[in-house]
Amino acid sequence: MRVLHLLGATEDTGGILTVLRNLRSTEEERGVEHVVLVHESYRETRQPSLRYRKSRHLLAESPRHLDLLRRTPPALSELRRLLRNEPFDVLHGHSRGALLLTLGASLLWRRPALFSSHAYARRKGMYRWAARRRHLRFSVLTPNMARHYGLAGPGNRVAVVSECCADRFFTLPLVPRRETAEAARLRLVGLGNIVPWKNWHLLLEALIRLPEKERGRFEFHHYGPVPAAADCRTYEHKLRALATRAAPARCEFHGLSLNVEEPLRQADWFVLPSTNEPCSVALIEALALGLPAIASASGGNVDILTPDRTGVLFAPEDAGDLARQLERLLRGAVRPVAPERIRDSVRERRAAAVAARYHALYEQVRWPRGG
Protein backbone atom coordinates (compact mmCIF):
# COMPACT_ATOMS: atom_id res chain seq x y z
CA MET A 1 0.00 0.00 0.00
CA ARG A 2 1.38 3.42 -1.00
CA VAL A 3 0.15 6.46 0.95
CA LEU A 4 0.64 10.02 -0.30
CA HIS A 5 0.58 12.47 2.59
CA LEU A 6 -0.48 15.97 1.54
CA LEU A 7 1.36 18.45 3.76
CA GLY A 8 3.13 21.36 2.02
CA ALA A 9 5.72 21.87 4.77
CA THR A 10 8.49 24.39 4.17
CA GLU A 11 10.68 23.39 7.15
CA ASP A 12 11.60 20.09 8.77
CA THR A 13 10.53 21.17 12.26
CA GLY A 14 8.99 18.00 13.69
CA GLY A 15 5.28 17.75 14.46
CA ILE A 16 3.50 15.85 11.69
CA LEU A 17 6.82 14.90 10.10
CA THR A 18 7.95 13.31 13.37
CA VAL A 19 4.75 11.26 13.47
CA LEU A 20 5.26 10.14 9.86
CA ARG A 21 8.81 9.08 10.69
CA ASN A 22 7.49 7.06 13.62
CA LEU A 23 4.80 5.44 11.48
CA ARG A 24 7.28 4.62 8.74
CA SER A 25 9.55 2.85 11.23
CA THR A 26 6.83 0.34 12.07
CA GLU A 27 4.82 0.07 8.84
CA GLU A 28 7.48 -0.72 6.28
CA GLU A 29 7.50 -4.29 7.58
CA ARG A 30 3.79 -4.45 6.67
CA GLY A 31 4.43 -3.26 3.13
CA VAL A 32 3.11 0.28 3.67
CA GLU A 33 5.11 3.01 1.92
CA HIS A 34 4.70 6.62 3.08
CA VAL A 35 5.48 9.46 0.67
CA VAL A 36 5.15 13.11 1.73
CA LEU A 37 4.17 15.98 -0.59
CA VAL A 38 6.05 19.05 0.68
CA HIS A 39 6.66 22.54 -0.68
CA GLU A 40 9.49 22.95 -3.18
CA SER A 41 11.43 25.09 -0.67
CA TYR A 42 11.53 22.25 1.88
CA ARG A 43 14.89 20.89 2.99
CA GLU A 44 15.22 17.83 5.20
CA THR A 45 17.27 18.43 8.36
CA ARG A 46 16.25 15.46 10.55
CA GLN A 47 16.66 11.72 10.41
CA PRO A 48 15.61 9.14 9.48
CA SER A 49 15.01 10.34 5.97
CA LEU A 50 11.49 10.29 4.48
CA ARG A 51 10.41 9.88 0.87
CA TYR A 52 9.25 13.16 -0.65
CA ARG A 53 7.59 14.69 -3.65
CA LYS A 54 7.83 18.46 -4.15
CA SER A 55 5.00 20.91 -4.93
CA ARG A 56 5.18 24.46 -6.24
CA HIS A 57 1.75 25.35 -4.94
CA LEU A 58 0.80 23.37 -1.83
CA LEU A 59 1.59 25.30 1.36
CA ALA A 60 0.90 23.90 4.82
CA GLU A 61 0.03 27.22 6.45
CA SER A 62 -0.39 30.89 5.67
CA PRO A 63 -1.62 33.85 7.74
CA ARG A 64 -3.83 34.72 4.76
CA HIS A 65 -6.71 32.32 4.18
CA LEU A 66 -7.21 33.64 0.65
CA ASP A 67 -3.65 32.66 -0.17
CA LEU A 68 -4.40 29.02 0.71
CA LEU A 69 -7.62 29.16 -1.33
CA ARG A 70 -5.81 30.69 -4.31
CA ARG A 71 -3.21 27.95 -4.28
CA THR A 72 -5.73 25.10 -4.30
CA PRO A 73 -6.68 24.99 -8.05
CA PRO A 74 -3.07 24.86 -9.32
CA ALA A 75 -2.20 22.39 -6.53
CA LEU A 76 -5.06 20.16 -7.72
CA SER A 77 -3.72 20.22 -11.28
CA GLU A 78 -0.27 19.45 -9.99
CA LEU A 79 -1.61 16.57 -7.87
CA ARG A 80 -3.49 15.11 -10.82
CA ARG A 81 -0.32 15.05 -12.91
CA LEU A 82 1.55 13.34 -10.07
CA LEU A 83 -1.15 10.67 -9.72
CA ARG A 84 -1.14 9.99 -13.45
CA ASN A 85 2.59 9.30 -13.37
CA GLU A 86 2.81 7.46 -10.08
CA PRO A 87 0.34 5.06 -8.46
CA PHE A 88 -0.86 5.68 -4.89
CA ASP A 89 -3.52 3.79 -2.97
CA VAL A 90 -4.42 6.45 -0.37
CA LEU A 91 -4.52 10.24 -0.19
CA HIS A 92 -4.00 11.47 3.39
CA GLY A 93 -4.12 15.22 4.06
CA HIS A 94 -2.78 16.82 7.23
CA SER A 95 -2.28 20.61 7.21
CA ARG A 96 -4.68 23.54 6.94
CA GLY A 97 -3.54 24.17 3.38
CA ALA A 98 -3.91 20.48 2.56
CA LEU A 99 -7.51 20.42 3.83
CA LEU A 100 -8.70 22.30 0.75
CA LEU A 101 -6.58 20.13 -1.54
CA THR A 102 -7.76 16.85 0.03
CA LEU A 103 -11.37 17.99 -0.02
CA GLY A 104 -11.11 19.20 -3.61
CA ALA A 105 -9.58 15.92 -4.77
CA SER A 106 -12.27 13.81 -3.09
CA LEU A 107 -15.13 15.96 -4.40
CA LEU A 108 -13.92 16.47 -7.97
CA TRP A 109 -12.72 12.93 -8.58
CA ARG A 110 -15.41 11.19 -6.52
CA ARG A 111 -12.75 9.18 -4.75
CA PRO A 112 -12.38 8.68 -1.00
CA ALA A 113 -9.61 10.40 0.94
CA LEU A 114 -8.56 10.81 4.56
CA PHE A 115 -7.93 14.11 6.33
CA SER A 116 -6.42 14.31 9.82
CA SER A 117 -6.80 17.57 11.73
CA HIS A 118 -3.69 18.42 13.75
CA ALA A 119 -4.78 21.80 15.10
CA TYR A 120 -7.40 23.64 17.14
CA ALA A 121 -8.62 26.01 14.45
CA ARG A 122 -10.63 29.06 15.47
CA ARG A 123 -12.79 28.85 12.34
CA LYS A 124 -14.54 25.56 12.99
CA GLY A 125 -17.30 25.64 10.39
CA MET A 126 -15.13 24.53 7.47
CA TYR A 127 -13.88 21.53 9.44
CA ARG A 128 -17.38 20.51 10.51
CA TRP A 129 -18.61 20.80 6.93
CA ALA A 130 -15.64 18.81 5.58
CA ALA A 131 -16.12 16.06 8.18
CA ARG A 132 -19.61 15.39 6.83
CA ARG A 133 -18.64 15.04 3.16
CA ARG A 134 -19.40 11.63 1.75
CA HIS A 135 -16.03 10.96 0.15
CA LEU A 136 -13.88 12.38 2.95
CA ARG A 137 -12.96 10.37 6.04
CA PHE A 138 -12.11 12.74 8.86
CA SER A 139 -9.95 12.09 11.92
CA VAL A 140 -8.85 14.09 14.96
CA LEU A 141 -6.11 13.45 17.50
CA THR A 142 -8.03 13.25 20.78
CA PRO A 143 -11.61 13.29 22.08
CA ASN A 144 -11.13 16.91 23.21
CA MET A 145 -10.36 17.92 19.62
CA ALA A 146 -13.58 16.24 18.48
CA ARG A 147 -15.45 18.27 21.11
CA HIS A 148 -13.71 21.45 19.94
CA TYR A 149 -15.07 20.99 16.42
CA GLY A 150 -18.51 19.86 17.57
CA LEU A 151 -17.89 16.39 16.15
CA ALA A 152 -18.18 14.32 19.32
CA GLY A 153 -21.09 12.06 20.17
CA PRO A 154 -23.32 9.61 18.32
CA GLY A 155 -23.99 10.11 14.64
CA ASN A 156 -20.56 11.56 13.85
CA ARG A 157 -18.20 9.66 11.56
CA VAL A 158 -15.08 11.29 12.94
CA ALA A 159 -12.28 8.91 13.94
CA VAL A 160 -9.93 9.57 16.84
CA VAL A 161 -6.31 8.60 16.12
CA SER A 162 -3.56 9.89 18.38
CA GLU A 163 -0.14 11.23 17.50
CA CYS A 164 2.51 8.65 18.36
CA CYS A 165 6.04 8.20 19.57
CA ALA A 166 8.48 5.57 18.35
CA ASP A 167 8.04 2.06 19.71
CA ARG A 168 11.60 2.06 21.02
CA PHE A 169 10.63 4.46 23.82
CA PHE A 170 8.72 1.60 25.44
CA THR A 171 11.80 -0.64 25.50
CA LEU A 172 14.22 1.92 26.96
CA PRO A 173 15.04 2.02 30.69
CA LEU A 174 12.66 4.19 32.69
CA VAL A 175 13.85 7.51 34.09
CA PRO A 176 14.58 6.90 37.80
CA ARG A 177 12.45 8.89 40.21
CA ARG A 178 14.07 11.35 42.64
CA GLU A 179 12.11 12.40 45.70
CA THR A 180 11.66 16.16 45.98
CA ALA A 181 13.28 16.28 49.40
CA GLU A 182 16.40 14.60 48.01
CA ALA A 183 16.80 17.04 45.10
CA ALA A 184 18.81 20.21 45.61
CA ARG A 185 17.03 21.53 42.51
CA LEU A 186 14.02 20.31 40.56
CA ARG A 187 14.98 19.96 36.92
CA LEU A 188 12.32 20.95 34.41
CA VAL A 189 12.85 20.12 30.72
CA GLY A 190 10.95 21.44 27.72
CA LEU A 191 11.23 20.25 24.12
CA GLY A 192 9.94 22.16 21.11
CA ASN A 193 10.44 25.07 18.76
CA ILE A 194 10.91 28.57 20.15
CA VAL A 195 7.72 30.03 18.73
CA PRO A 196 5.33 32.38 20.57
CA TRP A 197 2.39 29.96 20.72
CA LYS A 198 4.48 27.43 22.68
CA ASN A 199 4.24 29.82 25.68
CA TRP A 200 7.68 29.13 27.12
CA HIS A 201 7.46 32.59 28.67
CA LEU A 202 4.70 31.38 31.02
CA LEU A 203 7.11 29.09 32.84
CA LEU A 204 9.69 31.86 33.22
CA GLU A 205 7.03 34.29 34.44
CA ALA A 206 5.82 31.66 36.93
CA LEU A 207 9.36 31.25 38.28
CA ILE A 208 9.70 35.04 38.65
CA ARG A 209 6.54 35.05 40.80
CA LEU A 210 8.04 32.61 43.31
CA PRO A 211 9.91 33.84 46.40
CA GLU A 212 13.64 33.95 45.74
CA LYS A 213 14.44 30.96 47.94
CA GLU A 214 11.87 28.74 46.21
CA ARG A 215 12.82 30.05 42.78
CA GLY A 216 16.40 29.01 43.41
CA ARG A 217 15.31 25.38 43.76
CA PHE A 218 14.38 25.14 40.07
CA GLU A 219 16.30 24.80 36.88
CA PHE A 220 14.75 24.86 33.42
CA HIS A 221 16.43 23.41 30.34
CA HIS A 222 14.92 24.01 26.91
CA TYR A 223 15.85 22.04 23.79
CA GLY A 224 14.60 23.14 20.40
CA PRO A 225 15.43 25.33 17.41
CA VAL A 226 14.52 28.94 16.70
CA PRO A 227 12.70 29.03 13.33
CA ALA A 228 13.83 31.64 10.81
CA ALA A 229 10.71 33.83 11.15
CA ALA A 230 11.33 37.30 12.59
CA ASP A 231 8.73 36.90 15.35
CA CYS A 232 10.54 33.78 16.57
CA ARG A 233 13.84 35.66 16.83
CA THR A 234 12.08 38.42 18.77
CA TYR A 235 10.49 35.84 21.03
CA GLU A 236 13.88 34.26 21.74
CA HIS A 237 15.21 37.63 22.95
CA LYS A 238 12.17 38.00 25.22
CA LEU A 239 12.76 34.55 26.72
CA ARG A 240 16.42 35.26 27.43
CA ALA A 241 15.50 38.53 29.17
CA LEU A 242 12.94 36.70 31.33
CA ALA A 243 15.48 33.99 32.11
CA THR A 244 17.82 36.63 33.53
CA ARG A 245 15.01 37.98 35.75
CA ALA A 246 14.21 34.45 36.95
CA ALA A 247 17.59 34.09 38.70
CA PRO A 248 18.62 32.40 40.95
CA ALA A 249 16.63 29.78 39.02
CA ARG A 250 18.91 28.30 36.39
CA CYS A 251 17.38 28.67 32.90
CA GLU A 252 19.24 27.51 29.81
CA PHE A 253 18.38 27.27 26.11
CA HIS A 254 20.41 24.54 24.44
CA GLY A 255 19.13 24.70 20.86
CA LEU A 256 18.15 21.73 18.73
CA SER A 257 18.76 18.25 20.12
CA LEU A 258 18.48 15.31 17.74
CA ASN A 259 18.48 12.88 20.67
CA VAL A 260 15.45 13.76 22.84
CA GLU A 261 16.05 10.84 25.16
CA GLU A 262 19.21 12.38 26.61
CA PRO A 263 17.63 15.65 27.91
CA LEU A 264 14.57 13.79 29.20
CA ARG A 265 16.81 11.53 31.27
CA GLN A 266 18.19 14.63 33.03
CA ALA A 267 14.71 15.82 34.06
CA ASP A 268 12.54 15.47 37.13
CA TRP A 269 9.52 16.89 35.28
CA PHE A 270 8.67 17.52 31.64
CA VAL A 271 6.99 20.88 31.00
CA LEU A 272 4.57 21.86 28.21
CA PRO A 273 3.09 25.36 28.72
CA SER A 274 1.41 25.85 25.30
CA THR A 275 -2.35 26.37 25.11
CA ASN A 276 -4.37 23.97 22.96
CA GLU A 277 -1.34 21.84 22.11
CA PRO A 278 -3.04 19.34 19.75
CA CYS A 279 -1.32 16.13 20.86
CA SER A 280 2.33 16.57 21.77
CA VAL A 281 4.71 13.84 20.61
CA ALA A 282 7.31 15.15 23.07
CA LEU A 283 4.80 14.77 25.91
CA ILE A 284 4.09 11.17 24.88
CA GLU A 285 7.83 10.46 24.67
CA ALA A 286 8.39 11.87 28.18
CA LEU A 287 5.56 9.80 29.65
CA ALA A 288 6.78 6.69 27.81
CA LEU A 289 10.04 7.09 29.73
CA GLY A 290 8.09 7.29 32.99
CA LEU A 291 8.60 11.04 33.45
CA PRO A 292 5.68 13.06 34.93
CA ALA A 293 4.65 16.28 33.18
CA ILE A 294 3.41 19.80 33.89
CA ALA A 295 1.07 21.03 31.16
CA SER A 296 -1.69 23.49 30.34
CA ALA A 297 -5.20 22.15 31.00
CA SER A 298 -6.20 22.46 27.35
CA GLY A 299 -5.98 20.74 23.99
CA GLY A 300 -4.83 17.15 23.89
CA ASN A 301 -3.18 17.42 27.31
CA VAL A 302 -6.49 16.83 29.10
CA ASP A 303 -6.86 13.48 27.32
CA ILE A 304 -3.26 12.41 27.90
CA LEU A 305 -2.47 13.46 31.49
CA THR A 306 -4.25 12.37 34.66
CA PRO A 307 -3.91 15.20 37.21
CA ASP A 308 -1.72 14.42 40.23
CA ARG A 309 -1.10 10.89 38.92
CA THR A 310 0.83 11.18 35.66
CA GLY A 311 1.30 14.93 35.85
CA VAL A 312 -0.01 18.35 36.84
CA LEU A 313 -2.35 20.59 34.86
CA PHE A 314 -2.46 24.39 35.26
CA ALA A 315 -5.02 26.93 34.04
CA PRO A 316 -4.24 27.94 30.42
CA GLU A 317 -2.34 31.22 29.95
CA ASP A 318 -2.15 31.66 33.75
CA ALA A 319 1.42 32.14 35.03
CA GLY A 320 0.05 32.63 38.55
CA ASP A 321 -1.60 29.21 38.60
CA LEU A 322 1.53 27.64 37.11
CA ALA A 323 3.54 29.22 39.95
CA ARG A 324 1.12 27.67 42.46
CA GLN A 325 1.59 24.25 40.87
CA LEU A 326 5.37 24.66 41.08
CA GLU A 327 5.02 25.45 44.79
CA ARG A 328 2.99 22.24 45.21
CA LEU A 329 5.86 20.28 43.68
CA LEU A 330 8.32 21.78 46.15
CA ARG A 331 6.05 20.95 49.09
CA GLY A 332 5.77 17.34 47.93
CA ALA A 333 2.01 17.77 47.58
CA VAL A 334 2.04 15.92 44.24
CA ARG A 335 3.07 12.27 44.26
CA PRO A 336 2.87 10.82 40.73
CA VAL A 337 2.30 7.11 40.22
CA ALA A 338 5.29 4.86 39.59
CA PRO A 339 7.22 5.34 36.31
CA GLU A 340 5.95 1.96 35.06
CA ARG A 341 2.35 3.13 35.38
CA ILE A 342 3.13 6.46 33.72
CA ARG A 343 4.54 4.51 30.77
CA ASP A 344 1.46 2.30 30.63
CA SER A 345 -0.78 5.40 30.43
CA VAL A 346 0.50 6.14 26.89
CA ARG A 347 1.18 2.62 25.64
CA GLU A 348 -1.68 2.89 23.11
CA ARG A 349 0.03 5.98 21.67
CA ARG A 350 3.06 4.02 20.47
CA ALA A 351 3.69 3.90 16.72
CA ALA A 352 2.62 0.28 16.22
CA ALA A 353 -0.77 0.85 17.86
CA VAL A 354 -1.43 4.10 15.99
CA ALA A 355 -0.30 2.56 12.68
CA ALA A 356 -2.90 -0.19 13.12
CA ARG A 357 -5.66 2.42 13.57
CA TYR A 358 -4.53 4.32 10.49
CA HIS A 359 -4.31 1.10 8.49
CA ALA A 360 -7.98 0.41 9.26
CA LEU A 361 -8.86 3.90 7.98
CA TYR A 362 -6.69 3.43 4.89
CA GLU A 363 -8.65 0.33 3.98
CA GLN A 364 -11.83 2.43 4.03
CA VAL A 365 -10.46 5.05 1.63
CA ARG A 366 -8.19 2.89 -0.50
CA TRP A 367 -8.36 3.48 -4.25
CA PRO A 368 -8.52 0.44 -6.53
CA ARG A 369 -5.37 0.22 -8.66
CA GLY A 370 -6.03 1.23 -12.21
CA GLY A 371 -9.34 2.87 -11.21
Q: Which domain holds residue 112?
A: 2-164+350-365
Nearest-angstrom CA–CA distance, 288 and 173: 10
72 against 28, higher pLDDT: 72
pLDDT, residue 326, reads 97
Query: How is 59-74 classified by DSSP, letter by letter?
Result: -S--S-HHHHHHHHHH
CA-based angle 118:109:105, to the nearest 5? 25
* Same-domain pairing of 185 and 109: no
Does some domain include residue 370?
no
pLDDT for residue 182 is more than 70: no
Does some domain include residue 343?
yes
- Per the document, the length of the chain is 371
pLDDT, residue 291, reads 98
* Same-domain pairing of 318 and 356: no
Shortest CA distance to 304 belongs to which of 332, 321, 282, 320?
A: 282
Exposure on the CB side of residue 145, measured as CA atoms within 13 A: 28
Q: State pTM to two decimals.
A: 0.94
Asked if 263 contacts 182 with a C-beta cutoff of 8 angstroms, the reply is no
pLDDT, residue 180, reads 66
pLDDT, residue 54, reads 97
* Same-domain pairing of 92 and 192: no
Q: Which residues of 60-154 form beta strands (DSSP E)? A: 90-93, 113-116, 136-140
Does some domain include residue 279?
yes
**Strand order, beta sheet including 218-223:** 250-253, 218-223, 186-191, 269-272, 293-296, 311-314
Lowest mean pLDDT among 20-29, 116-125, 307-316: 20-29
Does some domain include residue 338?
yes
pLDDT for residue 30 is more than 80: no
* Same-domain pairing of 174 and 84: no
* Same-domain pairing of 257 and 134: no
* Same-domain pairing of 20 and 107: yes
Does some domain include residue 289?
yes
* pLDDT grade for 75, boundaries at 50, 70 and 90: very high
pLDDT for residue 18 is more than 90: yes
Does some domain include residue 39?
yes
Average pLDDT of the chain, as a whole number = 94
pLDDT, residue 154, reads 76
Asked if 165 contacts 288 with a C-beta cutoff of 8 angstroms, the reply is yes
pLDDT for residue 25 is more than 90: no
pLDDT for residue 305 is more than 60: yes
Lowest mean pLDDT among 13-22, 161-170, 298-307, 317-326: 13-22
pLDDT, residue 29, reads 66
* Same-domain pairing of 156 and 211: no
Rounded to an integer, the average pLDDT of 8-35 is 88
Strands 186-191 and 51-55: unpaired
- In percent, the amount of the chain with pLDDT more than 90 equals 84
* Same-domain pairing of 214 and 338: yes
The per-residue pLDDT for range 233-262, each reduced to its tens digit, is 999 999 999 999 999 999 999 998 888 999
Rounded to an integer, the average pLDDT of 172-191 is 86
pLDDT, residue 183, reads 66
Q: Is 217 helix (H, G, I), strand (E, B) or coil?
A: coil
Our count of domains for the chain comes to 2
Does some domain include residue 223?
yes
* Same-domain pairing of 283 and 294: yes
* Same-domain pairing of 53 and 160: yes
Does some domain include residue 371?
no
List the CATH number of the domain containing 111.
Answer: 3.40.50.2000
The per-residue pLDDT for range 102-149, each reduced to its tens digit, is 999 999 998 999 999 999 998 899 999 999 998 999 999 999 999 999
pLDDT, residue 153, reads 81
Query: How is 242-275 classified by DSSP, letter by letter?
Result: HHHHTTTSEEEE----S-THHHHHT-SEEEE--T
Backbone phi, then psi, for 122, in 5-degree steps? -80, -35
DSSP conformation class of 8: -
Lowest mean pLDDT among 139-143, 155-159, 201-205, 299-303: 155-159
Nearest-angstrom CA–CA distance, 131 and 127: 6
* pLDDT grade for 31, boundaries at 50, 70 and 90: confident
* Same-domain pairing of 21 and 112: yes
Rounded to an integer, the average pLDDT of 158-184 is 89
* Same-domain pairing of 86 and 228: no
Nearest-angstrom CA–CA distance, 139 and 2: 19
From residue 185, how far is each of 156, 174, 215, 232, 263 by CA, in Å?
48, 20, 10, 29, 16
pLDDT, residue 21, reads 94
Shortest CA distance to 13 belongs to which of 256, 354, 238?
A: 256
